[in-house]
């Protein structure tokens, strides 16, 4: 529940913290071969730090793969947006854009004023993107130059990571 100073809730929905991709047995075999190949290369070139990074990546990926995504509550309020327990005032955000290419991509992006912070990506789920855009235009400028999702997002989907 928002505090009084955050204003009235304009829209609220839940989205998963990450997309759990369906991977085939061939995908796992290919990735295992890649990891073993990189590990052998690291050991052959005596690059032990790279070998440790590959092993850690494998462990983290395996643990992450076992985890089910939690649902995150997202709210657009009169004074800003709230993602789970974190509240951002409108003045902290520079602009927004929506990439809506059904069924692959249905995302709302926020760019922060602070250049060090990465863009905030919110899955639109079943929300009407025109309604969300209409609400956000009252508070933020829309970046109309953004037409596609970022390369890293696209690459991650392609590799199912």
What would the pLDDT profile of 132-153 be if each residue is shown by its tens digit? 999 999 999 998 888 777 777 7
Same domain as 114, residue 43: no
Cβ–Cβ < 8 Å for 80, 43: no
Category of 7 on φ-ψ map: left (φ > 0), alpha (ψ -120 to 50) or beta: left
Q: Is the pLDDT of residue 9 over 80?
A: yes
Cis link prior to 15 (omega < 30° from 0)? Answer: no
Same domain as 75, residue 31: no
**Sheet strand arrangement including 86-89:** 9-16, 71-77, 80-83, 86-89
Residue-wise pLDDT tens digits, 31-70: 999 999 999 999 999 999 999 999 999 999 888 888 888 9
- Mean predicted confidence (pLDDT) in 71-76: 94
Q: The tokens of 25 are what?
A: 């047995």
CATH of the domain at 10: 2.30.29
How many domains is the chain partitioned into structurally?
A: 2
Same domain as 105, residue 50: no
Cβ–Cβ < 8 Å for 61, 161: yes
Q: Is the pLDDT of residue 3 over 70?
A: no
Same domain as 75, residue 60: no
Amino acid 35: pLDDT: 94
Domain that includes residue 99, residue range: 4-17+71-159
Same domain as 57, residue 127: no
Q: What is the DSSP letter of 117?
A: S
Same domain as 113, residue 85: yes
Same domain as 38, residue 13: no
What is the reported pTM? 0.77
Same domain as 93, residue 45: no
Amino acid 1: pLDDT: 45
Q: Is the pLDDT of residue 2 over 50?
A: no
Bigger pLDDT: 78 vs 20: 78
């Amino acid at each position: 529940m928002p505090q009084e100073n955050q204003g009235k809730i304009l829209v609220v929905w839940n989205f998963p913290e990450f997309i759990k991709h369906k991977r085939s047995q061939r995908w796992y075999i290919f990735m295992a071969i890649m990891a073993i190949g990189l590990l052998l290369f690291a050991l052959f070139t005596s690059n032990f730090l790279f070998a440790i990074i590959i092993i850690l990546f494998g462990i983290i990926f395996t643990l992450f793969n076992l985890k089910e995504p939690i649902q995150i509550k997202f709210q657009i309020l009169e004074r800003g947006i709230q993602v789970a327990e974190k509240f951002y005032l409108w003045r902290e955000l520079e602009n927004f854009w929506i990439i809506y290419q059904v069924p692959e991509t249905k995302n709302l992006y926020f760019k922060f004023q602070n250049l060090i912070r990465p863009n905030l990506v919110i899955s639109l789920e079943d929300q009407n993107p025109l309604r969300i855009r209409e609400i956000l235009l009252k508070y933020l400028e829309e970046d109309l130059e953004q037409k596609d999702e970022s390369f890293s997002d696209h690459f991650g989907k392609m590799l199912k990571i």
